[in-house]
Amino acid sequence: MEKMYFLIWVLMGLIIMMMGLSVEGVGVNWGTQATHELKPDMVVQLMKENGIQKVKLFDADSSTMSALSGSGIEVMVAIPNNQLADMVDYDRAMQWVRKNVTSYSFNGGVTIKYVAVGNEPFLKSYNNSFLNVTLPALENIQNALNEAGLSSVKATVPLNADVYESPETNPVPSAGIFRPDLSDLMTQIVQFLNKNNAPFTVNIYPFLSLYGNDNFPFDYAFFDGAVNPINDNGILYTNVFDANFDTLVSALKSVGFGNMPILVGEVGWPTDGDKNANLGNALRFYNGLLPRLSSNKGTPLRPGYIEVYLFGLIDEDAKSIAPGNFERHWGIFKYDDCTALGYGSSCNNLDANGNASYAFNMYYQVQNQNDLACNFEGLAMITTQNISTPTCNFIIQINPSYSSYLRPSLVGLFLVTLSIIILL
């Protein structure tokens, strides 16, 4: 049987078709932590066919950059956290810029607009590992860009939303400040960004507010109205996205830069891996977010256009699940893996045989449907019968070399109807 690659169109096409939206300036994050990566040229074609004009990367992989060359897609290229220490050396920073920006900056090349210096380097889980290298790396990269005649390319640092907060004594957006332990460093970063006309980049995840706090009001994570909105001096906040964004606006104002451009580097909703991570909630979230972006409504403290990158384009089934099983399920297009068997997830309703079959099948698919990977001491067999349930899909995948034969599109639902699965 011809091996297939299981890829489901999940959200964006449905929303755009239903609502006829044209959301100017919305980009996507393109992560590549997957067991079966799509070829870069296929991903670029996927974006072009669906009108995606901006993409945010997490590295500067040469095959990805080559695929983007001539596409006209606006790119935020990135320096991973583990390279930040190298960028403290100005010569290394210049070398990086020459290799990953200058070499693609020609007519018909890659349209690079931003360089992301690290990704959420001040997360508490990093134990200050990048505290002393992020600002010097930012400065060196921007200065190297300027020296190379590429001052129109702006270096920025995508930051987690926990770098700012409102005090417990006055927990409203207008009281936003930078976290006390980061205040001096954040002020220096903001000053440098302002000097170079670069935006402040923040990742905002309403789902994580809900996931991390059982007492968090469920409706406040969405955009269709909360029962008990926050009243901030007469301004009513009915959703956590607006409140979070405006807390940042206030924090910037507190250090003298209240008008600094803000770019939302990541925002999205996972489709599996938790009781609140499912297609219904994801659709509800995007069904609220995208019309707001399309209308340029903005937030109470920052009305108007907001530049946003959705997270993410494709599920990444090789990502760490330390934050939660949902971490592999942020994609507009999705993979499946055994995290779907967890409590509250889409395959949680299978019986013991179903659980074993799902797990066996996942291993078989990750191994490129190698027959030797179906040797489970006689407990399993290869079949063409599809035993997917209405909520739980038994996936099929192909060797990455086959991916060039597929041309998925957000404007048409691509479903696999003939599967190779494993049954007890």
Q: How far apart are CA 69 and CA 87, in angstroms?
A: 25
**Predicted pLDDT of residue 227:** 80
Confidence band for 302, pLDDT divided at 50, 70 and 90: very high
Contact between 145 and 98 (Cβ < 8 Å) = no
Q: Say if residue 252's pLDDT is above 90.
A: yes
Q: What is the pLDDT of residues 42-77, one digit of tens each?
A: 899 888 877 889 999 999 999 999 999 999 999 999
The three-state secondary structure class of 377 is: coil
Asked, as a colleague might, if the bond just before 312 is cis with ω within 30 of 0, I would say: yes
The amino acid present at 67, given as its one-letter code, is A
- In b/e form, how buried is each residue of 394-406, taking b as 16+ CB within 10 angstroms? bbbbbeeebbeee
Q: Say if residue 84's pLDDT is above 70.
A: yes
Which region holds residue 182: left if phi is over 0, alpha if psi is between -120 and 50, else beta? alpha
Residue 349: phi and psi, rounded to 5, are -95, 5
Residue 382: phi and psi, rounded to 5, are -90, 135
Q: How far apart are CA 345 and CA 391, in angstroms?
A: 9
Domain layout of the chain by residue ranges: 9-338, 339-423
Least confident segment among 22-26, 93-97, 225-229, 416-420: 416-420
Strand partners for 279: none
Q: Say if residue 2's pLDDT is above 50.
A: no
Asked if 266 is an active-site residue, the reply is yes
**What is residue 412's DSSP assignment?**
B
Tokens at 250, concatenated: 């206030």
Strand partners for 383: 421
The three-state secondary structure class of 234 is: coil
Higher pLDDT, 38 or 112: 112
User: Any idea which architecture 9-338 has in CATH?
Assistant: Alpha-Beta Barrel (3.20)
Higher pLDDT, 7 or 49: 49
Q: What is the pLDDT of residues 328-376, one digit of tens each?
A: 888 887 554 444 545 555 676 666 566 556 656 765 665 556 565 555 5
What percentage of the chain has pLDDT greater than the value 90? 58
Confidence band for 397, pLDDT divided at 50, 70 and 90: low
**Predicted pLDDT of residue 317:** 80
Q: Say if residue 410's pLDDT is above 80.
A: no
**Predicted pLDDT of residue 359:** 58
Q: How far apart are CA 130 and CA 72, in angstroms?
A: 33
- Average pLDDT of the chain, as a whole number: 83
Asked if 2 is an active-site residue, the reply is no
**Predicted pLDDT of residue 329:** 85
Give the angle 310-316-318 at the CA atoms, nearest 5°: 150
Residue 123 CB burial class (10 angstroms; 0-12, 13-18, ≥19): middle
**Predicted pLDDT of residue 384:** 66
**Predicted pLDDT of residue 272:** 87
Q: What is the pLDDT of residues 104-148, one digit of tens each?
A: 999 999 999 999 999 999 999 999 999 999 999 999 999 999 999
Tokens at 121, concatenated: 């380097």
**Predicted pLDDT of residue 380:** 60
Paired sense of beta strands 421-423 and 54-56, if any: unpaired
**Predicted pLDDT of residue 296:** 92
**What is residue 313's DSSP assignment?**
S
The three-state secondary structure class of 382 is: strand
Q: What is the pLDDT of residues 200-210, one digit of tens each?
A: 999 999 999 99
- Kindly name the residue from 74, 139, 266, 327 that is annotated as catalytic: 266
Q: What is the pLDDT of residues 182-197, one digit of tens each?
A: 999 999 999 999 999 9
Least confident segment among 160-174, 241-255, 331-345: 331-345
Q: Say if residue 261's pLDDT is above 90.
A: yes
Contact between 280 and 286 (Cβ < 8 Å) = no
**What is residue 58's DSSP assignment?**
S
Residue 132: phi and psi, rounded to 5, are -95, -5
Contact between 71 and 34 (Cβ < 8 Å) = no
- In b/e form, how buried is each residue of 297-328, taking b as 16+ CB within 10 angstroms? ebbbbbeeebbbbbbbbbbbbebeeeebbbbb
* Number of separate helices (H) and strands (E) present in the chain: 11, 17
Q: How far apart are CA 335 and CA 319, in angstroms?
A: 12
Higher pLDDT, 199 or 356: 199
- Kindly name the residue from 74, 120, 307, 327 that is annotated as catalytic: 120
